[in-house]
Amino acid sequence: MRVVPVPVRDDNHAYLLIDEPSNKAAAVDPYDVSKLTAAAKELGVQIVAAITTHHHFDHSGGNKDFAAKYPDATIYGGSDKVPALSKLVKDTDEFTLGDNTHIRCLATPCHTQDSICYYVVDKSNPDQPGGVFTGDTLFIAGSGRFFEGTGDEMNRALKYLGTLPDATIVYNGHEYTGGNLSFAKSIDPSNPAIARLEDLVKTNKITTGLTTIGDEKEWNVFMRLTSDAIVSNQ
């Protein structure tokens, strides 16, 4: 299993999730179909599906073009608000990409009520950490806005993601890490994990795919609401 980020728009991340060795791929939030098609061609993989994290245009806005370009591909999503949807998924639903890539759906309603995160593992390689596509629910050191939900819903969504193995790699929907770092430093400046995050931001223009759920439990303010540093700032 391999994940390749494909930058789109100003700060969005789309992805190719690739099953090895079948070389079949799913496009995650394929806003810019031409970019994903070019990336797939360069990598020598066949796109057979699209995975949509939620219905907002900057994530699902390419779905109709995707359906026209790949008419035989399945388009997964969490509600009928997702354009060109062909397979509705709900919490705990599971499906397979290619031969070995297993995908489990995690319903995380708040940013939108149809937000779905996708936990992916390579069944042929249990030593490889899994990954999770979090859309606009979980960002590196941050969370999404509550456009269609409440703070309680976001808290439950982040706790749900926190049940994944600590080694799970985070693939989020936007490159917001620099701003989130500044906020985290203002709340918990003595946290050594935030110093690690600052080093990461300084040395990487793109940070998605470089951190884990375990990291988030150490530096994400919104996953540490009961810690002394966070409570003292409330």
Please compute the mean of the pLDDT values over residues 180-188 and round it to a whole number.
94
The tokens for 172 are: 């989020």
Q: Is the pLDDT of residue 232 over 90?
A: no
Segment (H or E) for 218: helix 213-219
What gap in Å lies between CA 106 and CA 168, rounded to an integer?
14
- Residues 81-99: tens digit of each pLDDT: 999 999 999 999 999 999 9
What is the pTM assigned to this prediction? 0.96
With bands split at pLDDT 50, 70 and 90, how would you rate the model's confidence at 231? confident
Identify the CA nearest to 3 among candidates 29, 11, 177: 29
Q: Is the peptide bond before 21 cis (omega within 30 degrees of 0)?
A: yes
Mean pLDDT score across all residues of the chain: 96
- The answer, yes or no, to whether residue 233 has pLDDT greater than 80, is no
pLDDT in tens, 197-227: 999 999 999 999 999 999 999 999 999 988 8
For residue 147, what are the CA distances in angstroms to 9, 31, 99? 21, 20, 37
- Residue 234's pLDDT band (boundaries 50, 70, 90)? low
| Residues forming the active site | 54, 56, 58-59, 111, 136, 174
Residue 119 pairs in a beta bridge with: 104, 132
